[in-house]
Amino acid sequence: MARLSDVIEKFIKSLLEESEGELELQRNELADYFECAPSQINYVLATRFSVSHGYYIESRRGGGGYIRIVCLDVDKNNFLHYLVSEGIGSRITEHDALHIVQRLLEQNYIAPKSAGLIKSAITDKAIGIPSTLKDTIRANILKSMITAVMAWQGK
Amino acid sequence: MARLSDVIEKFIKSLLEESEGELELQRNELADYFECAPSQINYVLATRFSVSHGYYIESRRGGGGYIRIVCLDVDKNNFLHYLVSEGIGSRITEHDALHIVQRLLEQNYIAPKSAGLIKSAITDKAIGIPSTLKDTIRANILKSMITAVMAWQGK
DNA sequence: AATAATGAAGGTCAAAGAAAGTCAAAACAG
DNA sequence: CTGTTTTGACTTTCTTTGACCTTCATTATT
């Protein structure tokens, strides 16, 4: 079965496109529309629209309350540079690393093939060895690959 | 008496034919259908659908989870498949690895950007750690990336 | 005018549910 | 006896649900 959370995610993203990266919505209304618990909206926002996903959320409670989602626009080079110099750090989990690559893909900083290539290099399975060193190695490789991407400028 | 694992293998292969080499299935559903333990599905996949058998598996847990099986086009990717299943082996030096990638580039298996990306991931410097494990890790990562290239069909 | 009550939002968190993964022991086939 | 298959207990990951909490605007009361 298709996950409801994924459907809601897509829905919000399509709304965001129509409204040029900024959007205000009503939590209960949306929950009603999808016939789910209101807190599921929070779940979707937390797991798919966090800052690390490239979004910023603000909200207000009480009568006339709302949730506003803003699509952050970051400069590609700044972002890549930030990742290599501080974002990734000296160790990174598989989950966090894949998340970064997915973001690079969604922001169109890299092509799907490149994303696939990078992802394939940083999974636990790829690295193979069972050791705490894994996260260190992964960080090194990911930074190295992103550095290669930075060097692509203009082909 | 035909072994169940063989029956499941055949079943999955027939599904793959119907669906043009790519297929998503539910582990529990399949286990249910064959009245076996769910983990037997994993066994079948591990012993008959590995990369060296010419397949690539990805999956997701949790609600709405799935297992996806992709059939790698071994004929078309003969050389790549050879590299992954025997050519590279369990350890490889930086020099030999870079040489292989260069060759893939020259023979047009991969684009210049991809070659650059792959190279950036397999240097001693990228892997970072000073250890005899380096060559093992490099072999693993290189094989994983070449497998990703094999899975590109049509993308 | 100041305060209290009400209702309409949204927030949090933990438990339950729905998958898939791992591993090793037991069973079996040759 | 040896290698492969089958089973099942336990783990991990991700999603869904619901009970309870907080905030705010509006309206009623003093």
Q: What is the mean pLDDT of residues A19-32?
A: 96
Per the CB < 8 A criterion, the answer to whether A77 and A150 are in contact is: yes
Q: Does some domain include residue B25?
A: yes
Residues A145 and A84 in one domain: yes
How far apart are the C-alpha atoms of A8 and B129, rounded to whole Å? 43
Q: What is the mean pLDDT of residues B43-52?
A: 97
Whether residues A149 and B123 touch (CB distance < 8 A) is answered with no
Per CA to C1' distance, which residue is closest to D22?
A: A61
Residue-by-residue DSSP string for A84-148: IIIIS-S---HHHHHHHHHHHHHTTSS-HHHHHHHHHHHSHHHH---STHHHHHHHHHHHHHHHH
What Å distances lie between residue B62 and A2, A43, A98, A123, B66, CA to CA? Answer: 12, 15, 18, 19, 9
A79: CB partners within 8 A, 6+ apart: A107, A109
The pLDDT tens digits for A62-98 are 988 999 999 999 999 999 999 999 999 999 999 999 9
Q: Does some domain include residue A130?
A: yes
Residues A80 and A145 in one domain: yes
Interface of B with A in 41-100 (CB under 8 A): 63-64
Residues B20 and B58 in one domain: yes
How far apart are the C-alpha atoms of B118 and B126, rounded to whole Å? 11
- Looking at per-residue pLDDT, the higher value among A132 and B55 belongs to B55
Q: pLDDT band for A1, please (50, 70, 90 cuts).
A: low
Residues B82 and B117 in one domain: yes
Q: Does some domain include residue B38?
A: yes
The residue segments making up the domain with residue B42 are 4-71
The whole-number pLDDT of residue A127 equals 95
How much is the mean pLDDT over chain B? 95
Per the CB < 8 A criterion, the answer to whether B34 and B7 are in contact is: yes
SS3 state at B77:
coil
Q: Domain containing A14 — which CATH number?
A: 3.30.56.130
- Looking at per-residue pLDDT, the higher value among B74 and A130 belongs to B74
Chain A hits for B148, CB-CB cut-off 8 Å, are 116-117, 119-120
The whole-number pLDDT of residue A90 equals 95
Q: Does some domain include residue A107?
A: yes
Q: What is the 3-state secondary structure (H, E, C) of B127-152?
A: HCCCCCHHHHHHHHHHHHHHHHHHCC
Q: Does some domain include residue A66?
A: yes
**A133-150 and A94-106 helices, crossing angle to 10°:** 20
- Looking at per-residue pLDDT, the higher value among B2 and B63 belongs to B63
* Residue that terminates a domain, selected from A33, A54, A71: A71
ipTM of the complex as predicted: 0.92
What percent of chain B shows pLDDT beyond 90?
A: 91
Q: Which residue has the tokens 């893939």?
A: B104
Residue B153 has pLDDT above 80, yes or no: no
Residues B85 and B132 in one domain: yes
How far apart are the C-alpha atoms of A14 and A33, rounded to whole Å? 15
* Residue that terminates a domain, selected from A28, A50, A71: A71
Q: Does some domain include residue A85?
A: yes
Through-space separation of residue A64 CA and nucleotide D26 C1' in angstroms? 11
Q: What is the CB neighbour count within 10 angstroms for residue B126?
A: 22
Q: What is the mean pLDDT of residues A37-56?
A: 98
Distance from CA of B27 to the nearest CA of A (A): 13
Residues A121 and A91 in one domain: yes
The pLDDT tens digits for B20-40 are 999 999 999 999 999 999 999
How far apart are the C-alpha atoms of A26 and A32, rounded to whole Å? 10
Q: pLDDT band for A105, please (50, 70, 90 cuts).
A: very high
Q: Does some domain include residue A155?
A: no
Q: pLDDT band for A33, please (50, 70, 90 cuts).
A: very high
Give the closest of B123, B137, B148 to A127, CB-based. B137
Q: Which two tokens stand for residue A39?
A: 């807190």
Q: Domain containing A118 — which CATH number?
A: 1.10.1200
How far apart are the C-alpha atoms of B150 and A17, rounded to whole Å? 34
Give the best residue of B127, B141, B146, B153 to mutate against chain A (max A CB count within 10 A). B141
Residue A111 has pLDDT above 90, yes or no: yes
Residues B38 and B82 in one domain: no
Residues A50 and A15 in one domain: yes
Whether residues B121 and A141 touch (CB distance < 8 A) is answered with yes
Residues A28 and A90 in one domain: no
Give the closest of B113, B118, B145 to A152, CB-based. B113
How far apart are the C-alpha atoms of A53 and A93, rounded to whole Å? 16
Residue B2 has pLDDT above 80, yes or no: no
SS3 state at A60:
strand
Q: Does some domain include residue B155?
A: no
The whole-number pLDDT of residue A74 equals 94
Residues B62 and B87 in one domain: no
Alpha carbon dihedral B127, B129, B134, B136, in 10-degree steps, equals -90
| Weakest-pLDDT range from A13-27, A56-70, A78-92, B140-154 | B140-154
* Residue that terminates a domain, selected from A42, A71, A100: A71
The whole-number pLDDT of residue B1 equals 55
Residues B92 and B126 in one domain: yes
How much is the mean pLDDT over chain A? 95
Q: pLDDT band for A154, please (50, 70, 90 cuts).
A: low
| Weakest-pLDDT range from A61-70, B1-10, B48-57 | B1-10
Q: What is the mean pLDDT of residues B113-123?
A: 98
Whether A114 contacts chain B with CB within 8 A: yes
Residue B110 CA neighbour count, 13 Å, CB half: 26
Give the closest of A117, A141, A145 to B148, CB-based. A117
Residue type, position A112, single letter: P
Q: How many domains does chain A have?
A: 2
Residues B13 and B46 in one domain: yes
